[in-house]
């Protein structure tokens, strides 16, 4: 089809691109983890499955409603910037929402989920997946659900945020990583 | 090969020259080589698929005991192995199809596995459509560089999955991107059609490409569902007419996905609309002209209809109107019926009539050509029509029963008659 002299350099170029894309994904996340600000978000789980990437638990925000003036200004799926602040207990809360990139440091880039008739906005959780080892995912899901029912236990996600980009570090229940709790449970059974 | 044994004798008797004998010998040796090569390709590719999918599954286990760094390094291993293999093939074994196809397929899966694993390590949110898009774009050049038909098939399957994920489930993000992705692989398809018309890979493309387009068309559906029937009818017309172009007419039926899908699709669509419910709905729903004009369904239907008209023009140029296949002009008749159907209940009668005519003309064509397959296809169309009417007419059981018996006898009689004339 093509001359070898052209073919080989082209192939090397494509190979570089194939290496660059995953490498870039890694470096971007590592940067956020290393230099981003850490937040704790109270979250809730949904059902897990992904054909390519295996088992995970799905997270969504709890009680993080944002009041807006007019619901007609916002569309579902529209990208937005959410300004963050910490509450008394140290959990992240949404202060306000904006369509323009804010000047402050404490913000998160995400999309609008919906705005209800009372002008309360819910936003999508951009760190909605926490991958678990196959054998532990189901147990993790159960543990997580139980913790949500039991009001004395608090489940939250530890997230690093830099320039609006979030990377999920860990999911904790009462200050302990969910992986450890599941491992302990599986060993005691 | 018995003819090879006879060659010396034929030369002796001066039936053929030594040169011709050599040529014959060469021809059969080439053929032999091809068939064993085909087996190599099939097993090579099959093996690669299994290994590739296996690697993805092993990685999907998400090994907790491994550190983040280890997992990250592991995600690059298959990718680099794949690249080294492909590089080696390009340098040393460029003409070996089995090597080319299987290494490219391996690299294809390795790229996907690598992106997926990194997504897992860093808990990157689940957006299958952007994952597929990145994967497919990174592998598209492999089709051309490695001259790999199998990668092309995988790519087409991948972008079809992409359009299903983006167009059918998510709020309409960018389903139009699919058409660009498809366009990007067409030059390779053209290369296959011109250079390797008899290859199995080309045959697979002849099925997969129309199938992919059929699936993708559904993604443009926004809210005027009824117009989608026009779009689909015209698409089936396009496929049917492509299947009847000179190039595809010379192909075997099993390599001509266009013809089969176009024909079955048209008949199936007409049959499903031969019930009254669709037309009742259509009359009840008053579509405004402005609303229709700007809808993606309308634009899609327009483009496809125009394309079908062009193809019909080409089709008619080479043939007399009398030789026109009954399914070819259905898309035009359907649009007219659709417009009538907005105002009058006669549309459903027309549709039934079309199916009946197609059935009868197909039977006639089968009889004229002495072709049992075509003849029985025609009979099947009539049977399907009768079966459909069985469900919704108010005819008494006796009459319906008699109709069925008559069609059944028709089957026997025509087949018997044809077999008899064939024998004579």
Spatial strand order in the sheet of A165-173: A129-131, A56-61, A37-46, A155-162, A165-173, A176-177
Structural domain includes residue B200: no
Same domain for A80 and A144?
yes
In a domain, B160, yes or no: no
* pLDDT computed for residue B260 by the predictor: 92
Mutate to test the interface with A, among B57, B72, B122 (most CBs of A within 10 A): B122
Domain span at residue A155 reads 36-188
Same domain for A23 and A100, yes or no, is no
Mutate to test the interface with B, among A43, A53, A109 (most CBs of B within 10 A): A53
Which one of A52, A136, A159 would you mutate to disrupt binding with B, by most B Cβ within 10 Å of its Cβ? A52
Interface size between A and B, measured as CB pairs under 8 A: 117
Tell whether A3 and A26 lie within a shared domain. yes
The number of folded domains in chain B is 1
Q: Mark yes or no for CB contact B94/A133 under 8 Å.
A: no
Contacts (Cβ under 8 Å, ≥6 apart) of A50: A56, A129, B60, B126, B128
Kindly state whether residue B268 falls inside one of the protein's structural domains: yes
Same domain, A168 and A184: yes
Is A74 found in the same domain as A14?
Answer: no
Instruction: Examine the domain organization and report whether A124 and A160 are in the same domain.
Output: yes
Using a CB-CB distance cutoff of 8 angstroms, which residues of chain B are in contact with residue A22? 75-76, 79, 114-115, 118
Measured between alpha carbons, how far is A130 from B122 in angstroms, rounded to an integer?
Answer: 9
Residues A129, A54 share a domain = yes
Residues 6 or more apart whose Cβ sits within 8 Å of residue A26: B72, B118, B122
Q: How would you class B223 by CB atoms within 10 Å of its CB: exposed for 0-12, middle for 13-18, buried for 19 or more?
A: exposed
Q: Is the ipTM of this complex over 0.90?
A: no
**A56/B contact by beta carbon, under 8 A:** yes
CA quadruple A7, A10, A12, A15: dihedral sign: negative
Q: Where are the alpha helices (DSSP H) in chain A?
A: 4-35, 134-149, 178-188
B117–chain A nearest CA distance, Å? 7
Per the structure, the count of domains in chain A is 2
The closest CB to that of B119, out of A1, A53, A77, belongs to A53
* pTM for the predicted model, two decimal places: 0.81
The answer on A72 and A18 residing in a single domain is: no
Nearest to B60 among A11, A52, A130 (CB): A52
Same-domain check for residues A21 and A101: no
pLDDT in tens, B242-288: 998 888 888 888 888 999 999 999 999 999 888 888 888 887 776 67
The whole-angstrom separation of Cα B64 and Cα B59 is 11
What confidence tens digit (pLDDT) does each residue in A22-75 have? Answer: 899 888 888 888 888 888 887 765 444 444 455 677 777 776 778 888 777 888
Query: CB under 8 Å, gap of 24 or more: what pairs does A44-52 form?
Result: A44/A148, A44/A155, A45/A141, A45/A144, A45/A145, A45/A148, A48/A132, A48/A137, A48/A141, A50/A129, A50/B60, A50/B126, A50/B128, A52/B56, A52/B60, A52/B112, A52/B116, A52/B128, A52/B131
One domain, residues A43 and A131: yes
Residue B416 is assigned to a structural domain of this protein: yes
Is A1's CB within 8 Å of B112's CB? no
Asked if residue A175 and residue A111 are part of one domain, the reply reads yes
**Which domain does B399 fall in, by range?**
224-424
Residue B63 falls inside a structural domain: no
pLDDT by residue for chain B (424 residues), tens digit each? 457 777 788 888 877 888 888 888 777 776 665 666 777 888 888 888 888 888 777 877 777 777 888 888 888 888 999 999 999 998 888 888 888 898 999 999 999 888 888 888 887 776 788 888 899 999 999 999 989 999 999 999 999 999 888 877 655 555 688 899 999 999 999 999 998 888 888 999 999 999 999 998 888 877 777 888 889 999 999 999 999 888 888 888 888 899 999 999 999 999 988 888 888 888 777 667 677 777 778 888 889 999 999 988 888 887 766 677 888 888 889 999 988 888 887 888 888 889 988 998 898 888 888 788 888 899 899 888 888 887 766 667 777 788 778 888 888 888 788 778 777 7
- Quick one: A12 and A97 in the same domain? no
State the nearest Cα–Cα gap between A30 and chain B, in angstroms. 9
């Amino acid at each position: 089809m093509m001359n070898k002299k052209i073919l080989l350099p082209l192939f090397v170029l494509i190979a570089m691109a194939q290496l660059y894309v995953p490498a870039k994904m890694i470096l971007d996340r590592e940067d956020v983890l290393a230099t981003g600000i850490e937040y704790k978000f109270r979250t809730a789980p949904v059902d897990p499955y992904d054909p390519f990437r295996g088992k995970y638990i799905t997270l969504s925000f709890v009680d993080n409603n944002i009041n807006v003036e007019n619901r007609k200004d916002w569309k579902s799926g529209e990208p937005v910037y959410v300004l963050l602040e910490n509450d008394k207990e140290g959990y992240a809360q949404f202060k306000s929402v904006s369509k323009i990139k804010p000047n402050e440091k404490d913000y998160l880039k995400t999309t609008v989920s919906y705005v209800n008739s009372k002008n309360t906005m819910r936003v999508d959780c951009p760190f909605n997946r926490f991958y678990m080892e196959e054998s532990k995912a189901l147990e993790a899901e159960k543990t997580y659900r139980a913790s949500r029912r039991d009001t004395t236990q608090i489940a939250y996600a530890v997230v690093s945020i830099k320039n609006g980009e979030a990377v999920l570090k860990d999911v904790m229940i009462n200050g302990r990583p969910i992986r450890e709790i599941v491992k302990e449970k599986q060993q005691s059974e | 090969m018995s003819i090879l044994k006879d060659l010396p004798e034929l030369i002796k008797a001066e039936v053929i020259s030594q040169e011709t004998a050599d040529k014959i010998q060469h021809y059969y040796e080439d053929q032999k080589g091809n068939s064993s090569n085909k087996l190599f390709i099939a097993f090579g590719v099959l093996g690669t698929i299994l290994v590739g999918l296996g690697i993805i599954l092993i990685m999907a286990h998400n090994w907790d005991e491994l550190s983040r760094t280890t997992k990250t390094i592991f995600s690059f291993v298959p990718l680099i192995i794949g690249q080294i293999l492909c590089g080696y093939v390009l340098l040393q074994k460029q003409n070996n199809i089995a090597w080319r196809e299987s290494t490219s397929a391996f690299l294809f899966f390795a790229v996907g596995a690598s992106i997926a694993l990194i997504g897992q390590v860093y808990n990157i949110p689940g957006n299958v459509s952007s994952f597929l898009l990145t994967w497919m774009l990174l592998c598209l050049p492999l089709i051309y560089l490695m001259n790999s038909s199998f990668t092309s098939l995988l790519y087409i399957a991948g972008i079809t999955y992409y359009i299903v994920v983006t167009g059918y489930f998510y709020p309409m993000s960018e389903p139009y991107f699919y058409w660009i992705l498809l366009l990007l692989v067409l030059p390779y398809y053209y290369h296959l059609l011109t250079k390797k018309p008899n290859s199995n890979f080309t045959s697979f493309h002849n099925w997969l490409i129309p199938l992919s387009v059929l699936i993708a068309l559904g993604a443009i559906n926004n809210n005027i569902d009824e117009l989608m029937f026009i779009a689909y009818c015209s698409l089936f017309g396009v496929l049917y007419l492509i299947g009847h172009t000179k190039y595809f007419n010379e192909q075997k039926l099993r390599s001509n996905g266009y013809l089969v899908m176009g024909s079955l699709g048209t008949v199936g669509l007409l049959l499903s609309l031969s019930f009254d419910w669709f037309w009742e709905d259509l009359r009840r729903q008053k579509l405004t002209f402005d609303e229709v004009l700007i809808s993606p369904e309308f634009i899609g239907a327009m483009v496809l209809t125009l394309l079908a008209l062009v193809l019909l023009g080409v089709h008619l140029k080479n043939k007399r109107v009398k030789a026109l296949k009954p399914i070819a002009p259905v898309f035009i008749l359907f649009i007219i019926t659709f417009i009538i159907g907005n105002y009058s209940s006669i549309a459903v009668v027309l549709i039934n009539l079309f199916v009946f005519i197609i059935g009868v003309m197909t039977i006639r064509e089968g009889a004229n050509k002495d072709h049992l397959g075509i003849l029985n296809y025609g009979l099947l169309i009539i049977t399907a029509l009768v079966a459909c009417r069985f469900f919704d007419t108010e005819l008494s059981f006796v009459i319906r029963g008699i109709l069925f018996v008559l069609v059944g006898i028709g089957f026997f009689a025509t087949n018997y008659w044809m077999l008899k004339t064939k024998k004579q």
